[in-house]
Amino acid sequence: MFRIFRRRAQADRGFRDAQRAGQALLQMHAELPTPGSVAATARDTTEAAVVPDFLPPDFRVPSRQDVAGFMMRWDQPLIIDGEVRECPECGAYRNWVVFCMRDDSVWLRCRAAHETRELVLDAAWYNRHSGPADRWHPTLEDGLRHLGH
């Protein structure tokens, strides 16, 4: 978990560096070269040359701060502390959608759209059991449709 956060921090730093380099390039084009600015311009160009392997913002996966939460399908019965979880409203015990929200809370949603907060599970559990997020959905409904719910 800590490793993931550090990697995000590095990505954020990389993004800020890319932004700074982009601004420097814009400035380069906006300003007429004057003898005093030559040194600064040369240094900024070097910084920009380091950036190319960094993806432009449109291609980046949204970070945890950009999304309301993550979701995954969980078709098998979900066993927590030796007990099969059941929907308190309809008794369903499989075909869940599991949500991990931005506040690290974990929620279960059954086929009948009953949503229950699962207090025993947390973001660390979710991260251990989910693959990397490979898709971004503009709405909850879109995400549910994608997961077949």
- Residue 108 found at the interface with Zn ion (CB under 5 A): no
Can you spell out the DSSP letters for 106-128? EEEE-TT--EEEEEEEEHHHHHH
Contact between 110 and Zn ion by CB under 5 A: the answer reads yes
Q: Are 36 and 61 in contact (CB under 8 A)?
A: no
Segment interacting with Zn ion, rule: CB under 5 A, options 20-28, 36-44, 77-85, 111-119: 111-119
Spatial distance between the Cα atoms of 18 and 21, rounded to a whole number of angstroms: 5
**In whole angstroms, how close is the CB of 13 to Zn ion at the nearest point?**
44
Task: Give, as one character, the DSSP assignment of residue 22.
Answer: H
> Minimum CB separation from Zn ion for residue 149, in Å?
12
- Indicate the DSSP class of residue 74: E
**78: which 2 tokens?**
């979900």
Q: Which of 1, 26, 61, 112 binds Zn ion (CB under 5 A)?
A: 112
Among 83, 89, 104, 141, binds Zn ion (CB under 5 A): 89
Residue with tokens 């380069």: 28
- 55 vs 90, beta carbon nearer Zn ion: 90
* Segment interacting with Zn ion, rule: CB under 5 A, options 12-20, 50-58, 100-108, 114-122: 114-122
- Of the pair 92, 123, the CB lying nearest Zn ion is at 92
Contact present, 57 and 15 (Cβ < 8 Å): yes
Binding site for Zn ion (CB under 5 A): 87, 89-90, 92, 110, 112, 114
